[in-house]
Amino acid sequence: MKDDGFVIVGVRETPPPPAPRREPWYRGKPLFAGGVLGVIVLGCLLCGLFIPGDPSYMDLANASAAPGRAFLFGTDTMGRDIFSMIWYGGRVSLLIGVAGAAISTAVAVVLGAVSGCAPAWLDALLMRLTELFLSVPNLLLVVFLQAILGEASVLSISLVIGLTSWTSMAKVVRTEVRQLRSSEYVVAARSMGGGFFHILWRHLIPNFLSSIMFMVVMNVRSAIAAESTLSFMGIGLPLEVVTWGSMLSLSEKALLSGAWWIILVPGIFLVTTLLCLTSLGSYLRKAANRKERNL
Amino acid sequence: MDNEILLDVQHLTHFFPITKKIAVKAVDDLSFQLRRGEIFGLVGESGSGKSTVARCVMNLYRPQAGRILYKGIDTCDRRAFRKNRRMLQTTRQLIFQDSASSLNQRMRVCDIIAEPMRIQHITPPRGTHRAEAAFQMHYVGLDPSFLDRYPPELSGGQRQRVAIARALAMEPELLVADEPIASLDVSIQAQIVNLFKHLQQEHGFSFLFIAHDLAMVEFLCDRVGVMYHGRLLEVAPTEELFQHPLHPYTKSLLSAIPIPDPVRERARKLIPYEEEPGAPRGTLREVSPDHFVAE
């Protein structure tokens, strides 16, 4: 008899389960919007490389020329080449969008965090002030502020847009900070002597950033839209500063003369950019909601 | 251990208001002293006010009445606190119960351990913050390979060691630990308590150890105070307290310790404790040397 007195018993060996198919990294991500936005942003940043001339050069002989070989997107009523204006104007429009969003985010984070950390009376005061701000029509505020600041420039218009669009983000920041401020690592940092800005920068912002990220992107979008609105109405940047908005402000004359390209080309670029930003923003919001919080 | 009193808590009282009329008396006229280099254990059931005492000692709560003298400085007095802020914030350190929430999960371990030094702008004695963090980790028995990990990647015991390293990085003279082992499993509890004992012998800090595990307290502490409903009922050297408990509540508490011997464990009888409703609020009286009982 063979020596089989000692047999290993135990868990029955099972074949390893087939490896689950790896999800491709791009699944569920806004690839198309990101790609289009990337092309537009890169084109605006690098436009000096592929556009030789001065975008504001007025070729009066070719005013209101239709799109063709010489002028890809045509020229406007003052004879400026729309193709080069689109890229150079995009620089300014995107700059205003980013700067306006940055200013509004900074104001919202600081005010929201102060309100979240403050004692009840100061919190109530700040939040009522925020609601007061929120209830005044945005456009009215912008016009007032712009009137105070005087002649519009890229900087002043970003400042005005930034200073009028922080309210809803400040409310979100305040709610998040209320939750975070009693967590023990904040208490620990406080008992070690950490100041308000240390705690805000090291502990609070990293923890609530994901939940305001989509609002930041949406603020870029609304800042670009606000600049176009203002310029279109003629209370924004002056005509000689080329932006998508100031290009659109020529449209009333263009409509009368039947030059559709003057209004359509900047319009398409503007709407495409806004759509891409919206798509990115809603992706970020979904991603932030999906994540497990308060763990 | 010398007899210099490091921390002197006098008639400490702290309420938590529920409504305008009703308040919970978390700590009620509590006095005890902590000598330099001593491990003082504070035990009591849940809700007896142990953590409130710890938070009052660390200036996280402002007590309604009473004084807390640390090195002769009244830490509840705003002016005295402000004058000695830096000394108070560096020489007293706190360890929390739940290391998962007392460490910011978005900070790396090396940043967590170096945080108090960054806050107080102390040049680390071992050159860089990173080297100092590695040294402190070695000191509490952690491998330096954890330096770049995030807290959720560590186990509970490892996280609590990180929290201890953060507290010890400041070379504290008073360490307050608020149930530091309650959220760990038994074998890790033993490791951490041994670590505390070892570290205390090396550093010689005074240690306010709050727990509800009597076996751990008996092993670690030099003196023990028994709390019940916000009051101290009995304070005595550990051996004396466990051999000759005088207060009925202490007797009841000690009778609840499980015995690791099935025969004796089955014979163990719980002594119930009922507070007589009309009983006068006792003051501590010295019965035998260093043994105080409320009467």
Cα B251 from chain centroid (whole Å): 22
User: Is B17 within 8 Å of chain A by CB?
Assistant: no
For CA atoms B160, B161, B166, B172, give the dihedral sign. Answer: positive
- Cα separations in angstroms, B16 against A285, B6, B61: 39, 28, 10
Question: How far is the C-alpha of A181 from the C-alpha of A188, rounded, in Å?
Answer: 11
Packing angle of the helix pair A31-45, A82-117 (nearest 10 deg): 110
| pLDDT reported for residue B277 | 59
Asked whether the beta carbons of B195 and B140 are under 8 A apart, the reply is yes
Minimum CA–CA partner of A207 in chain B: B106
Q: Do A184 and B86 touch (CB under 8 A)?
A: no
Q: Do A193 and B106 touch (CB under 8 A)?
A: no
Q: How distant is the Cα of A107 from the closest Cα of chain B, in angstroms?
A: 24
Asked whether the beta carbons of A177 and A117 are under 8 A apart, the reply is yes
The partner residues of B73 in beta bridges, in order of sequence, read B70
- Cα separations in angstroms, B257 against A277, B222, B260: 63, 19, 10
Question: How far is the C-alpha of A270 from the C-alpha of A281, rounded, in Å?
Answer: 16
Q: Do B116 and A192 touch (CB under 8 A)?
A: yes
Asked whether the beta carbons of B113 and B165 are under 8 A apart, the reply is yes
Asked whether the beta carbons of A246 and A266 are under 8 A apart, the reply is no
Pairs of residues, one from chain A and one from chain B, whose beta carbons lie less than 8 Å apart: 52
Nearest CB to A183 within list B94, B101, B170: B101
Q: Which residues of chain A have pLDDT under 50?
A: 294-295
- Reduced to 3 states, what is the DSSP secondary structure of residue B28? strand
Residue A22 within a domain:
no
Asked whether the beta carbons of A117 and A208 are under 8 A apart, the reply is no
Q: Do A191 and B101 touch (CB under 8 A)?
A: no
Minimum CA–CA partner of A194 in chain B: B119
User: Is B168 within 8 Å of chain A by CB?
Assistant: no
Cβ neighbours of A195 in B, within 8 Å: 119
Asked whether the beta carbons of B95 and B178 are under 8 A apart, the reply is yes
Question: How far is the C-alpha of A262 from the C-alpha of A264, rounded, in Å?
Answer: 6
Minimum CA–CA partner of B101 in chain A: A184
Residue B47: which of B24, B67, B30 has the closest Cα?
A: B24
- Residue A152 belongs to what domain range? 78-290
Residue A145 within a domain:
yes
Q: Which residues of chain B form beta strands (DSSP E)?
A: 5-17, 23-35, 39-43, 65-70, 73-74, 92-95, 174-178, 206-210, 223-228, 231-237, 284-288, 291-294
Question: How far is the C-alpha of A140 from the C-alpha of A262, rounded, in Å?
Answer: 28
Question: How far is the C-alpha of B79 from the C-alpha of A195, rounded, in Å?
Answer: 18
Q: Do A184 and B90 touch (CB under 8 A)?
A: no
Q: Is A256 exposed, middle or buried (0-12, 13-18, 19+ CB in 10 A)?
A: exposed
User: Is B86 within 8 Å of chain A by CB?
Assistant: yes
- Reduced to 3 states, what is the DSSP secondary structure of residue B259? coil
Question: How far is the C-alpha of B212 from the C-alpha of B215, rounded, in Å?
Answer: 9
| pLDDT reported for residue A294 | 43
Q: Which residues of chain B have pLDDT under 50?
A: none
Cα B279 from chain centroid (whole Å): 29
Q: How distant is the Cα of B280 from the closest Cα of chain A, in angstroms?
A: 37
Residue A12 within a domain:
no
| Interior angle at CA B117, CA B114 and CA B121, nearest 5 | 140
For chain B, the structural domain boundaries read 5-294
- Reduced to 3 states, what is the DSSP secondary structure of residue B221? coil
User: Is A203 within 8 Å of chain B by CB?
Assistant: yes
Q: Do B85 and A193 touch (CB under 8 A)?
A: yes
Residue A40 within a domain:
no
Complete edge-to-edge strand list for the sheet that includes strand B65-70? B23-35, B5-17, B65-70, B73-74
Cα-flanking dihedrals φ and ψ of residue B30, to 5°? -110, 130
Cβ neighbours of B89 in A, within 8 Å: 191-193
User: Is B183 within 8 Å of chain A by CB?
Assistant: no
DSSP for B146-205, written as a single string:
GTT--GGGS-HHHHHHHHHHHHHTT--SEEEEESTTTTS-HHHHHHHHHHHHHHHHHH--
Nearest CB to B89 within list A193, A203, A206: A193
Give Cβ neighbours of residue B127 (< 8 Å, ≥ 6 apart): none
Cβ neighbours of B104 in A, within 8 Å: 185, 202-203, 206-207
ipTM of the shown complex: 0.82
Q: How distant is the Cα of A194 from the closest Cα of chain B, in angstroms?
A: 6
User: Is B116 within 8 Å of chain A by CB?
Assistant: yes
Residue B68 neighbours by CB distance under 10 Å: 20
Nearest CB to A192 within list B106, B107, B119: B119
| pLDDT reported for residue A109 | 94
CA-based radius of gyration for chain A: 27
Q: Do A206 and B101 touch (CB under 8 A)?
A: no
Packing angle of the helix pair A31-45, A260-290 (nearest 10 deg): 130
| pLDDT reported for residue A108 | 94
Q: Secondary structure of A3-48 in the HEC alphabet?
A: CCCCCCCCCCCCCCCCCCCCCCCCCCCCHHHHHHHHHHHHHHHCHH
To test the contact with chain B by mutation, choose from A176, A191, A209 the residue with the greatest count of B C-beta atoms within 10 A, namely: A191
- In chain A, residues 59-88 whose CB comes closer than 8 Å to chain B: none
Query: Could you tell me the two tokens for B201?
Result: 């012998």
Q: How distant is the Cα of B100 from the closest Cα of chain A, in angstroms?
A: 9
Q: Do B104 and A207 touch (CB under 8 A)?
A: yes
Q: How distant is the Cα of B176 from the closest Cα of chain A, in angstroms?
A: 12
| pLDDT reported for residue B279 | 57
Residue B254: which of B209, B212, B211, B214 has the closest Cα?
A: B214
CATH annotation of B5-294: 3.40.50.300
- Reduced to 3 states, what is the DSSP secondary structure of residue A180? helix
| pLDDT reported for residue A3 | 62
Residue A139 within a domain:
yes
Cα-flanking dihedrals φ and ψ of residue B284, to 5°? -75, 135
Residue A28 within a domain:
no
Nearest CB to B106 within list A190, A192, A207: A207
Write the CATH number for A201. Answer: 1.10.3720.10
DSSP state of A201: I
Residue B55: which of B155, B163, B219, B177 has the closest Cα?
A: B177
- Cα separations in angstroms, A187 against A49, A205, B81, B268: 53, 16, 18, 42
| Host H or E run for residue B105 | none
| pLDDT reported for residue B164 | 92
